[in-house]
Amino acid sequence: MGFMNLFKHFLGDDWGVHPDDHKRPAADQPIRKLPVPPRVHLMLSQHVGAPARPVVLVGQKVKKGELIAAAQGNISAPVHASTSGVISAIGEITAPHSSGLPGMAISIDADGEDAWLETEIVADPYGLSAADIATRVAAAGVVGLGGATFPSSVKLNLGRRSSIDTLIVNGSECEPYLSCDDRLMRDRADEIVGGIRLMLISTGAGVAKVGIEDNKPEAIEAMRSAAARFDNIKIMPVPARYPMGSDRQLIVELTGREVPSDARAADVGVIVHNVGTAYAVHQAVCYGRPLVSRLMTLNGGAATTPGNYEVPLGTLVSDLVAFTGGYQGEAARLVMGGPMMGAVLPHARVPVVKGTSGILLLDAGEAAACEPEACIRCGSCVKACPMGLLPLEMSARIRNDELEGAVDLGLSDCIACGCCAYVCPSHIPLVQYFYHAKGELSAQQRATLRTEATKKMALQRQERLEREARERAEAAAKRKAERAAAAAAAEAAAASAAVNTEKQGETA
Amino acid sequence: MIAAILSLTVLGAALGIILGVANKFLQVEGNPVVDEILAMMPGSNCGQCGFPGCSGAATAIVDGSAAPTCCPPGGKALATAIAAKLGITVDVSGMSDDGPKIAVVAEELCIGCCRCAKVCPTDAFVGAAKQIHNVLREACTGCSSCIEKCPTEALAMKPVPVTLQHWVMPKPAVA
């Protein structure tokens, strides 16, 4: 595909899909606060990067907001207690992941007081230096709340290192069913704008553009009035279309710049943060409050009271469902996140994490799947693909285990938005093929790295053995020399003693 | 005296030059295919193939005296890769390859004798004399040379556990 075609493809009106949004009535309900559940389970890996390292012991008492696991490595985020109580266990629990595999978590038995740790409040948060803001954001464990969960402080620091001129704040929330960002913008617009101001200082960007899909008029209105006093914060409605909330698509829509393949947003002078992240940054810097709860949407045909809830992190999905009135009928499928990109949960006894934007209880009708049939080469997926790829060709190669062929067709540019599988009239699980192929490729990459590491380790062992042999030989030589010297000395002493006795004999 | 020194020096220099030239022009090159195969092998020289190290196995595979399936740590993946490289067909169905395996220490049986640590080609063991040993999951190549050294049968080869980081979504069923 030539450059002009790609250009047209992005600016033209043909990429993406328009699913039924199902956002209302959940979006119109006021925010409700979930009471603290009897026990919370905080996953150590709620972010992209190295898992956090526990710094508490079982039986220890913690306050809400207290650090329980520290970040380790450059790309990592700390975890804080989401309520006050006693650490009851540090161990494995089923992770909120489609695999149903366990992950490490810290469990806290809540004492019901929900008492915050005393924190210092900054007198003038907007007078802090850029580095200071990033440090506070890092300490608060703030990660990208749009779902990518990349540690926010890393992105803020990146902004200062590679000249960023525009901060894009993502309030488009293009996934159907979800409305937590919408609700947050309607009810807490001032705090979001505060967070945007802090992020502008921290990244050094001159202007912030807030992209909000035009199916959220109330949120646009609320954000406009909150940002009216600030010239460098622009509220920009964008057409409602999935996946408008994907960073690459939003950057093109708001700035006209296209992020090249194999490059990051920062390479075109842009950095993207979610509105939820802006709110969390505000809470972290102005009030010293770490990220211990978040707004999430409960929705779907089997939800009794759909709406947006402020949920303490680590709450089990089953506790959330029980509080909101249980299931209406039977839930055929539990999904964490949106219906397009979310993860199917193995069961409801999994904790919510920082990246959980919603819990969907889908009924049988919503979860119905059709049997895949043969590809009719209609090209619908090509038209829908927001990245300008050829999903039908890539999936055909992956089906025949020709991963290299799929990579040549641009598999690494696939954002796994699911548009192709959504539009396919033959119900081919296209995006599932791409998930599989990406996992398989990274496994292959790990295997290659492992082979290289093995060679290095074998070489190092060889060197170690040689060094040890040399050292032993040297030590033996030294001992021999010492023994020889000692023997010589003893001989000399004996000789002189003999001479002495002779002399004595002579004199006697 | 001087004549003898001179003649020996000239003789030495002349023979040296001849040897140098011969080395340059009459050099027997190693088979480049062997080097390529060697680069694909695990490189831990564990000796399970019966050859002295990976280079011996690579030479034998190239000249046809050994099958590409002779490397247990490499498994099916390596066998098929080598076969593809050499353009030969290989029957991997006989290989008992149920995915990569690593050595695991049963802590209640380990007596801390250090015999396993001595044979490990990648120094994957941690522990000292009379201390319970353990295997570093990332460093173990699954060559299983330690298994028979253990006097208490505390070592066993177990499949590498699938973790959240290593999980791969299964391929969708064919339509």
Question: pLDDT tens digits for A239-279?
Answer: 999 999 999 999 999 999 999 998 889 999 999 999 999 99
Residue A92 has φ and ψ, to the nearest 5°, of -90, 145
Q: Is B166 within the bounds of a domain? A: no
Task: Name the percent of chain A lying above pLDDT 90.
Answer: 81
Phi/psi for A464 (5° steps) reads -65, -45
- Which pLDDT score is estimated for A218? 95
Best of A75, A457, A467 to disrupt the B interface (most B CBs within 10 Å) is: A457
Same domain, B116 and B80: no
CB atoms B169 and A373 under 8 Å: no
pLDDT attached to residue A500: 74
**Residue pointed to by tokens 């023997």:** A487
B70 and B120 co-located in one domain: no
Question: All domains of chain A, ordered by start, with CATH?
Answer: 9-33+126-344 (3.40.50.11540), 375-508 (1.10.1060)
Q: Which domain holds residue B55?
A: 32-86
Task: Check A399 against B121: CB less than 8 A apart.
Answer: no
In a shared domain, residues B75 and B106: no
Shortest distance, CA B170 to any CA of chain A (angstroms): 6
> Whole-model pTM?
0.81
| Inter-chain residue contact A432 with B43, CB threshold 8 Å | no
> Is the pLDDT assigned to residue A3 strictly greater than 60?
no
| Beta strand segments in A457-504, E | none
Higher pLDDT residue, A137 or B41? A137
Which pLDDT belongs to residue A503? 65
- List the single residue in B with minimal CA-CA distance to A100: B164
Confidence category of residue A133, pLDDT binned at 50, 70, 90: very high
Interface with A, mutate which of B40, B78, B141 (most A CBs under 10 A): B141
Q: Is the pLDDT of residue A10 over 60?
A: no
Asked whether residue A498 carries a pLDDT value surpassing 90, the answer given is no
Contact at CB, B174 and A399, closer than 8 angstroms:
yes
SS (H, E, C) chain B: CHHHHHHHHHHHHHHHHHHHHHHHHCCCCCCHHHHHHHHHCCCCCCCCCCCCHHHHHHHHHHHCCCCHHHCCCCHHHHHHHHHHHHCCCCCCCCCCCCCCEEEEECCCCCCCCCHHHHHCCCCCEECCCCCCCEECCCCCCCCCCCHHHCCCCCEEEEECCCCCCCCCCCCCCCC
> Which pLDDT band holds residue A2 (cuts at 50, 70, 90)?
very low
Lowest mean pLDDT among A84-98, A133-147, A155-169: A155-169
Quick check: is B75 in a domain? Answer: yes
User: Regarding predicted confidence, which is higher, A487 or B74?
Assistant: A487
A428–B167 C-beta distance less than 8 A: no
| Residues found in chain B | 175
- pLDDT band with cut points at 50, 70 and 90 for residue A1: very low
What CATH number does residue B81 fall under?
1.10.15.40
**Same structural domain for residues B131 and B82?**
no
Number of domains in chain B: 2
Q: What is the mean pLDDT of each run of 10 residues along chain B (175 residues)?
A: 93 94 82 85 82 87 86 80 84 67 91 91 89 89 87 90 86 75
Q: Are residues B43 and B76 in the same domain?
A: yes
Does B21 reside within a domain?
Answer: no
Do residue B164 and residue A45 have CB atoms under 8 angstroms apart?
Answer: yes
Alpha-helical regions (H) of A233-379: 247-255, 275-287, 317-323, 364-367
Which residue in B has a C-alpha nearest to residue A98's C-alpha?
B169
Residue A230 has pLDDT above 60, yes or no: yes
In whole angstroms, how large is the CA radius of gyration of chain B? 25
Residue B173 placed within a domain = no
> What are the tens digits of pLDDT across the range A358-377?
999 999 999 988 899 999 99
A464 CA: distance to closest CA in chain B (Å): 10
Query: Does B84 touch chain A if contact means CB atoms closer than 8 Å?
Result: no
- The answer to whether residue B154 is domain-embedded is yes
The CATH number assigned to the domain holding B119 equals: 3.30.70.20
Amino acid at A469: A
B174 in A contact zone (CB under 8 Å): yes
What is the structure's pLDDT at A130? Answer: 92
Cβ distance B168 to A443 less than 8 Å, yes or no, reads: yes
Question: CA of A68, closest CA in chain B: separation in Å?
Answer: 22
Query: A466: distance to nearest CA of chain B, Å?
Result: 14
Partners of B175 on chain A (C-beta within 8 Å) are: 371-374, 426, 428
User: Cβ-count burial of B80 within 10 angstroms (0-12 exposed, 13-18 middle, 19+ buried)?
Assistant: middle
Q: β-strands A39-43, A343-344: how paired? A: unpaired
The whole-angstrom distance between residue B161's C-alpha and the CA centroid of its chain comes to 23
Q: Is B23 within the bounds of a domain? A: no
Does the structure show a pLDDT above 90 at A412?
Answer: yes
pLDDT of residue A203: 92
Predicted local confidence at residue A211, as pLDDT = 96
> For position B38, what pLDDT does the model report?
85
Say if B91 falls within a structural domain. Answer: no
Whether the CB of B161 is below 8 Å from some CB of chain A: the reply is: no
Say what percent of chain A tops pLDDT 70.
96
Q: Which residues in chain A have Cβ-Cβ distances shorter than 8 Å to B45?
A: 458
Judging contacts by C-beta atoms under 8 Å, the chain A residues touching residue B77 are 447
- Tell me the ipTM for this assembly: 0.74
Instruction: Indicate if B112 and B68 belong to the same structural domain.
Output: no
pLDDT at residue A4, rounded to an integer: 47
The alpha carbon of residue B30 is apart from the nearest alpha carbon of chain A, in Å, by 21
Residue B94 lies in a domain: no
CA distance A129 to chain B (A): 36
Smallest CA–CA distance, residue B20 to chain A, in Å, is 31
Q: Where are the alpha helices (DSSP H) in A41-151?
A: 130-139
Q: Are A206 and A232 in contact (CB under 8 A)?
A: yes
Q: Which of B162, B167, B175 sits opposite A372 (nearest CB)?
A: B175
- The minimum CA-CA distance between A313 and chain B, rounded to whole Å, is 20
Average pLDDT, chain A: 92
Do residues A85 and A340 touch, judged by C-beta distance below 8 A?
Answer: no
Residue in chain A closest to B138 (alpha carbons) equals: A450
Residue A416, pLDDT > 90, answer yes
Residue in chain A lying closest to B100 (CA):
A447
Interchain proximity B139–A455, CB inside 8 Å: no
Residue B24 contacts A, CB cutoff 8 Å: no
Q: Give residue A177's pLDDT band: very low, low, confident or very high (50, 70, 90).
A: very high
